[in-house]
Structure 1
Amino acid sequence: MPSSPRYIEVMDTTLRDGEQTSGVSFSPSEKLTIAQLLLTEVKVDRIEIASARVSEGEFAAVKAITKWAKASGLLHKVEVLTFVDGEVSVNWMKDAGAKVMNLLTKGSLNHLTHQLKKKPEQHFAEIAAVITLALKKGLECNVYLEDWSNGMRHSREYVWQYLDFLQTQPVKRVMLPDTLGVLVPSEVYAYISETVQRYPQLHFDFHAHNDYDLGTANVLEGLKAGAHGIHLTINGMGERAGNAPLASAIAVMNDFLPTVKTGVAESSLYTVSKLVETFSGFRIPANKPVVGENVFTQTAGIHADGDKKHKLYFSDLMPERFGRQRKYALGKTSGKANIENNLAQLGIQLSEPDLKKVTQRIIELGDRKEVVTQADLPYIISDILDSNTIEEKVKIENYVLTHSKALKPSVTLRISVKGELYEEHSQGDGQYDAFMNALKKVYKARKQELPVLTDYAVRIPPGGKSDALCETIITWRYNNREFKTRGLDSDQTVSAIKATQKMLNLI
């Protein structure tokens, strides 16, 4: 019978390593909210929430989190980065109410020699003293081997000497960071395999950085090699290029590593990602896997057509797993299938001729680099169906709108009325006013009176997220009755001109 999957501990370090993202600083209340979500909704196994001794604000945040965690029976899941500094970090931990310390030590001879200027034996003795003190004060101890990746590359004998020492110490986990994000996947597999085989009694976590965009790939290889835990951050936050991202790593593990499992709830990953984006001001790239806005959006019409016919462009990475929905982008590459899928989501059906007209309008907007959203569709449909009812006897052939500093706006207008061409130039208080003054000249020459404009309103689709469209609705009075016309365009003045052309045809 096949063996059951190996359980992997997931430690999220968004609140410690992630907060080292340049320009990011969480308030104590934000830290508490994120900590609560990570442990109760996302269900990671552990969270690293701070570095000891950093600031009063950090101390207040840790106290708030440990107070909540203790009341919730989760204090053993909350960890703090500490230093080899005698009693200082240990006492800080005790005062903050934390129980699990992650001791930062040197994992390469280069760091030990040039940063601490100490011999291995001296460093080990100081580490042992801190661990002994921590245990006396009721703390649990994990140990980081900072710069372990370079240690394995350039001073492996030192790493073995250090791990020989650590296996004599009462530590729960040994944490192996690729501090500078320099390893390639083959190295991660080789180094962790060798380490796990050499020290089978120790628990090893792997901590990947993303400097070469290899963070997720390295996590995959680290787990294949036998790592017992991984360190991740929401949205890949962290120093320099950040850490391996939580959402991507979990998706990869679930889809490509059947031999392992975690307790993480995939359905909560997008929600916490968006919350952290808001709190941090660290924007998620639109194309970021799993949590980016575009990653479940089909743009090409052929893809939408394939999805409609037999889900031809679906993969195991389904948006519903993460509490999301598949979208079909609207733009110049949109085919009819893209638009039909969007209309279906809105509960709208169109005739074939009207669908073609809507498709053409969206392609025209896309050619102008406008972004069309699903919320724009009812506006576009309304405009097209409205235009269908009007016989076009008046056509605005061309116009030039000018607006200059310290000069009145002006318009040069060419218009066709029942086949006759007219051209006029005029100024006004604004571009649309200048347009109307030029139009009045044309109709005066035809001995016709124009309706009186009684109201002018501009609106955009609800939510205001689209940069593609605005709708101008103009109310006119003519022969003792009122009527409205609408124009739709990305430019407010042009949408008003379109509404005016509809009025000219109606009269």
Structure 2
Amino acid sequence: MKNEHPRIEIMDTTLRDGEQTSGVSFVPHEKLMIARLLLEELKVDRVEVASARVSEGEFGAVKMICNWAAQRGLLPRVEVLGFVDKNISVDWIYNAGCRVINLLCKGSEKHCRFQLKNTVEEHIANITQTVMYAAQKGLDVNVYLEDWSNGMKDSPDYVFQLMDALTKLPIKRFMLPDTLGILNPLQVIEYMRKMMKRYPDVHFDFHAHNDYDLAVSNVLAAVLSGVKGLHTTINGLGERAGNAPLSSVQAILKDHFHAITNIDESLLNEVSRVVESYSGISIPANKPIIGENVFTQVAGVHADGDNKNNLYCNDLLPERFGRKREYALGKNSGKANIRKNLETLGLELDEESMRKVTDRIIELGDKKEVVTPEDLPYIVSDVLKHDVVSEKVKLKSYIVNLAYGLKPMATLKIEINGKEYEESASGDGQYDAFVRALRKVYKETLKRKFPMLTNYAVSIPPGGRTDAFVQTVITWSFEGKVFRTRGLDADQTEAAIKATIKMLNMIEE
């Protein structure tokens, strides 16, 4: 590249293209929250927040975002997709308060002739009229060349004829989408360099789709070719196989190309979790940068290497992304992984004790049980028969019942620091009733805070037997810390209760 450290503009389209993910629909206040996170926290350069003419609800969402953005001087960075439709989209966008239109034009002759039933001359005339009308209304205009990838592949003369005409108009950016995700990196370089050579003064954006799992590779090929802007989404959301995920694009731009962006990568994980929650689309555990497991070492030899001059670390340090390195516990752990977890807990064991604890964790791993770092003190206590974790909270007795047509009830007797308490409550399920009774003890009787349950996962071994053990893993949030506890039992409610009592002992410690 001519510029050793290229500056790349990031346009995030989570709220437009990302919302085209099957099953995803953001309500207006969610759209506003995500737009705020993208612009003020992550510091993306631009956000595409909607498509024009979708619905009254979408109009209200755009208006809300634009009002907020205008108060903070961010309105020029908010964009809406519009269409060549006799000015209807321009008026819709203008009336919503937005001042940037991303005009969707046809970047391939096939789309122009068969979808619009236009000649290229007719399409150019219609685009020209829309662009000039938008300019008269005071809107900035960017242009999408929809299906540009197939256009360059099958009808490059059409693309160049279209571009020759449009570059004479007041258009700020030309955005080149691989609409159907058909390109590979070599094709991106070939086609993008043809565009750059013919139109050297034009600002080009590249918009990738992930149908062949090449979106990130294609984005980087576009940067190598001199593109000035990239389109991304949070968590790779988008139609079909999705778009290029911002987290991966940012990491590779910085580490492999030494490119400059405005992104605050320390907040990528936090924003990804918010979008995961709003979208209902779970982040795969092994998704680079933001997946739950990507900074977790499993093999004991890796943990040992980390102790010896960070032999198994690369530039993707978890602290960059607001995360920390973890060491999994299981049959592959070895002493190094276990020792790393013990160090976090402030526990030190001699070699013989380490051997016993390691053997127990391997035994559990062979049974396919998940061993979490939070389980480790209990394993140590069980193996070594001393009170590494004292049982300050003991469940003395409880009863839960379920009757048709009635809410489940729970009554429990619990000992906390040597004193017994008894409470009853109803709930939406047996476990819910049990937790409500516990909350009464802590909040009403003891006047103490009670942790918030943030996730509840249940699994059973393969095979589907009705007598299989049930494993319940519960994630809690308490005083700014997030942690998990696990319970194992033949009964799901009992497993959840065991996990809850573990949690109560942890907060007592």
* Length-normalised TM-score, structure 1: 0.77
**Pairing 1:126-205 to 2, within 5 Å after superposition:** 126-205=126-205
In structure 1, what is the equivalent of residue 214 of structure 2? 214
In structure 2, what is the equivalent of residue 280 of structure 1? 279
In structure 1, what is the equivalent of residue 7 of structure 2? 7
**Pairing 1:20-419 to 2, within 5 Å after superposition:** 20-258=20-258, 260-386=259-385
Q: Secondary structure of the residue that 1:151 maps to in structure 2?
A: helix
Alignment partners' CA distance in 2, 1:255 and 1:317:
9
In the TM superposition, what whole-angstrom CA distance separates every residue of 1:7-60 from its partner, at most 9, and x where no partner exists?
A: 111000000000000000001000000000100110000000000000111111
Alignment partners' CA distance in 2, 1:470 and 1:305:
30
**Pairing 1:451-462 to 2, within 5 Å after superposition:** none
- In structure 1, runs of 5+ residues without a counterpart are 390-454, 472-487, 497-507
Alignment partners' CA distance in 1, 2:253 and 2:273:
22
Alignment partners' CA distance in 1, 2:165 and 2:487:
72
In structure 1, what is the equivalent of residue 411 of structure 2? none
Change (3 A) 1:489 1:167: closer
In structure 1, what is the equivalent of residue 488 of structure 2? 490
Alignment partners' CA distance in 2, 1:296 and 1:382:
28
In the TM superposition, what whole-angstrom CA distance separates every residue of 1:90-116 from its partner, at most 9, and x where no partner exists?
A: 110111000000000100001111111
Q: Secondary structure of the residue that 1:26 maps to in structure 2?
A: coil
Contact 1:372 1:466 in 2 (8 A): no
Question: Given residue 489 of structure 2, which amino acid in structure 1 is its aligned partner?
Answer: D
Alignment partners' CA distance in 2, 1:362 and 1:4:
50
Structure of greater Rg:
1
In structure 2, what is the equivalent of residue 401 of structure 1? none
Contact 2:381 2:387 in 1 (8 A): no
Alignment partners' CA distance in 2, 1:96 and 1:382:
62
| CA positional deviation for 1:4 | 6.4
| CA positional deviation for 1:469 | 7.1
| CA positional deviation for 1:387 | 7.3
Alignment partners' CA distance in 2, 1:3 and 1:166:
27
Alignment partners' CA distance in 2, 1:23 and 1:51:
17
Contact 2:457 2:472 in 1 (8 A): no
Question: Given residue 343 of structure 1, which amino acid in structure 2 is its aligned partner?
Answer: L
- In structure 2, runs of 5+ residues without a counterpart are 389-421, 423-433, 436-450, 460-469, 474-485, 496-509
Alignment partners' CA distance in 2, 1:8 and 1:313:
30
Change (3 A) 1:492 1:72: same
Change (3 A) 1:265 1:356: same
In structure 2, what is the equivalent of residue 427 of structure 1? none
In the TM superposition, what whole-angstrom CA distance separates every residue of 1:50-81 from its partner, at most 9, and x where no partner exists?
A: 00000111111101100000000000000000
Alignment partners' CA distance in 1, 2:290 and 2:386:
40
Alignment partners' CA distance in 2, 1:335 and 1:149:
50
Alignment partners' CA distance in 2, 1:470 and 1:217:
39
Change (3 A) 1:489 1:60: closer
Change (3 A) 1:57 1:353: same
Contact 1:208 1:231 in 2 (8 A): yes
Q: Secondary structure of the residue that 1:175 maps to in structure 2?
A: strand
Q: Secondary structure of the residue that 1:145 maps to in structure 2?
A: strand
Contact 1:289 1:295 in 2 (8 A): yes
Change (3 A) 1:492 1:376: farther
Contact 1:250 1:266 in 2 (8 A): yes
| CA positional deviation for 1:385 | 2.2
In structure 2, what is the equivalent of residue 450 of structure 1? none
Alignment partners' CA distance in 2, 1:86 and 1:166:
17
Question: Given residue 310 of structure 1, which amino acid in structure 2 is its aligned partner?
Answer: N
Contact 1:373 1:466 in 2 (8 A): no
Change (3 A) 1:3 1:198: closer
**RMSD between aligned alpha carbons?**
2.4
| CA positional deviation for 1:201 | 1.6
Alignment partners' CA distance in 2, 1:101 and 1:37:
22
